[in-house]
Amino acid sequence: MLSFHNDIEVKEKYVNRVKAHAKADNLIQGTGWENGKGCAIGCTLESFDHSAYPTELGLPEWLARLEDRLFEGMENKYAMKFPLDFLEAIPVGVSLEPVKWKFCSYLCSDNIARVENLDIDWNLKKQVLTAIKHVKLIHDNAIETGVWDASAACAARSAAHSAAHSAAASVAAYSAAWSAAYSVADSAAAYYSIRFSSSRFSILQKYADHLLKLLREA
């Protein structure tokens, strides 16, 4: 699948639509699409259906879910700019699957740093870090080769699940391990990784900025 179905007119259609909704102050958090107002997804599609992104925009559903999570989680002043910045950042006619791998690798790096700073049992810390680093390696290999190793991802996911259960007493270690597990789980990987990684405004803003950077470079 190529972004915007490899058609500049498709991109312009949705960019102009979101611009118009932003100008009319129709972008709101917490509502999919209702009475001409809605979230990032709602104002892009004028309906609320993540699964419509591939057919309408040529963008993967996981990216729609990630856009939605970031929009809803950021401070309002940043969220209102995000849907337009998001669409404008995406080049026409490119595959965006490598963006998922790069973004999830970035999340793994962020979670590795977070766990390294925790004051928890050393053996538990080692288990969680090993699991996250294994997951990161799966993404890094996919970035380099262009091929997703499903069997390796399954094994990495199992190790991250085990680490998460072991780390249940530490909220930060638990969430970091689950974030890693979900990053290799399914088509909504990036969304679920963020969901478990952090809900803090400032962190989500950082994640949004990094996503825009990766999209521009796609």
Q: What is the pLDDT of residue 185?
A: 67
Name the band, by pLDDT with cuts 50, 70 and 90, for residue 118: confident
> 69 pLDDT exceeds 60?
yes
Q: What is the pLDDT of residue 165?
A: 87
Q: What is the pLDDT of residue 187?
A: 53
Q: How many CB atoms lie within 10 A of CB 199?
A: 12
pLDDT by residue (tens digit) across 147-168? 999 899 889 889 988 988 888 8
CA distance 136 to 42: 33
Higher pLDDT, 177 or 39: 39
Q: Comparing C-alpha atoms, which of 119, 121, 157 is closest to residue 137? A: 157
**Sequential DSSP letters for 54-91:** HHHHS--HHHHHHHHHHHHHS-HHHHTTHHHHHHHHSP
What is the pTM for the complete model shown?
0.91
Q: Comparing C-alpha atoms, which of 112, 99, 76, 105 is closest to residue 213? A: 99
Say what percent of the chain tops pLDDT 70: 93
CA distance 58 to 89: 14
Average pLDDT over residues 110-130: 91
- Residues with Cβ within 8 Å of 214's Cβ and at least 6 positions away in sequence, in order, are 99, 102, 103, 106
> 119 pLDDT exceeds 60?
yes
Residue 34 pairs in a beta bridge with 37
Q: What is the pLDDT of residue 177?
A: 82
Amino acid residing at 8: I
Q: What is the pLDDT of residue 186?
A: 61
User: CB–CB of 43/21 below 8 Å?
Assistant: yes
Average pLDDT over residues 73-77: 90
Residue 27 phi, psi dihedral angles, 5° rounding: -75, 125
> 200 pLDDT exceeds 70?
no
- Least confident range of 9-23, 33-47, 169-183: 169-183
Q: What is the pLDDT of residue 197?
A: 57
**Could you tell me how far CA 120 lies from the centroid of its own chain?**
28
Name the band, by pLDDT with cuts 50, 70 and 90, for residue 31: very high
DSSP 27: B
Q: What is the pLDDT of residue 57?
A: 98
